[in-house]
Structure 1
Amino acid sequence: MSYLKSLPEETTLLQVFQAHPGPARHLLAFHELVLRGESPFTEGERELIAAYVSGLNDCGYCHGIHTVTAEAFGVPAGLLAAALEDLTTAPVGDKLRPVLAYVGKLTRTPSRMTDADAEAVFAAGWDERALHDAVLVCALFNFMNRMVEGLGIRADAAYATTSGLRLKEAGYEGLAGMLAP
């Protein structure tokens, strides 16, 4: 139930963006850059990181939508649920596991990050650009999770599927195109 009384009770984030297009345009442009721009990570891996962070934050709206998007980009179904249940036994590749561990710790206990956390990412074969990009996705979705929860935005599985597939096909630029000029 949306806390914004000028919007419908079952408001989606897209409706919030449409009601407040100024900030939304900048936010969606940043999403496009971080999640679809050049990166050592694939689009699916970045969506996986977004969905993982959102799952850790128990943000059902973002977790649902970005799980669908990650799976549409080829992340195996069920991988996110397994990673959230137990990252050490989940069927996550050895190269990506330390990245998810890093963003997990950054989400839960940001002041406790250490050189050893970063070194685990580097030891898996990632470079500084990858660490930077993982941190950007993590930070963006910690922000988005708080925005969604703070505004009381919810969605059912059908909306998560529709929105997730729309993000796969049109990207965040496509969402920006749905805003009033």
Structure 2
Amino acid sequence: MSAVPHFPSLPDDARLVDVFQRYPESSFPLLAYHETVMRGPSPFTLGERELIAAYVSGVNACAYCHGVHTEVAQAFGVAEGLLAAALADLDSSPVDDKLKPVLAYVGKLTRTPALVRAADAAAVFDAGWDEKALHDAVMVCALFNFMNRMVEGHGITADAEYFALSGKRLHDVGYDGLAKLLSD
């Protein structure tokens, strides 16, 4: 996929890292927040948080974030094809039964946030998750709804080759490591 970004100051093949470098005053605190949400202590594994991020991005049809974070999730052990199956039909997908209500919650929060109810949270709790887990899922969901709009608003695109490269980099160095690479 090749498209020109919406910002004339960005290169024709701009990636998110180009936006981060062009606007460091807002980008570096954002990467630090990514590190906290995606890599800090949580009831969810790193792979599960990346799964949530990729799922939210898929619900939003943000090909860039979905592609990159699917690769990161797979690098952390999420089975290939799991995200596609979850997006096609969460109920019949091979997603672990304990995670299905979490993905249903973040999917509803993404699609129709004003319709999220206590019963949606209760389904997550009934699956064995605690309030910290639900909080973490909400924060990953919120972060990736933000990121999806940031990517789409800047007109950032990429292809499968870039998704694999970026996914490996995030797996290997994390978000703090990405910030360090960008500041060098």
Q: TM-score, normalised by structure 1?
A: 0.98
What is the 5 A alignment of 1:74-153? 74-153=77-156
**What secondary structure does 1:177 align onto?**
helix
Supply the RMSD in Å over aligned alpha carbons.
0.8
What is the 5 A alignment of 1:6-21? 6-21=9-24
Q: Which residue of 1 aligns with 2:176?
A: 173
What is the 5 A alignment of 1:24-43? 24-43=27-46
1: CA distance, partners of 2:183 / 2:31: 14
Count of aligned pairs: 181
Q: What is the identity, as a one-letter code, of the residue corresponding to 1:133?
A: D
Q: TM-score, normalised by structure 2?
A: 0.97
Q: Deviation at 1:179?
A: 2.7
2: CA distance, partners of 1:26 / 1:4: 21
Percent identical pairs in the alignment equals 66
**What secondary structure does 1:178 align onto?**
helix
Q: Deviation at 1:128?
A: 0.2
Q: Deviation at 1:4?
A: 1.2
Can you give the 5+ residue segments of structure 2 that lack an aligned partner in the other structure? none
2: CA distance, partners of 1:86 / 1:179: 38
2: CA distance, partners of 1:180 / 1:63: 25
Instruction: Give runs of ≥4 in structure 1 deviating > 4 Å.
Output: none
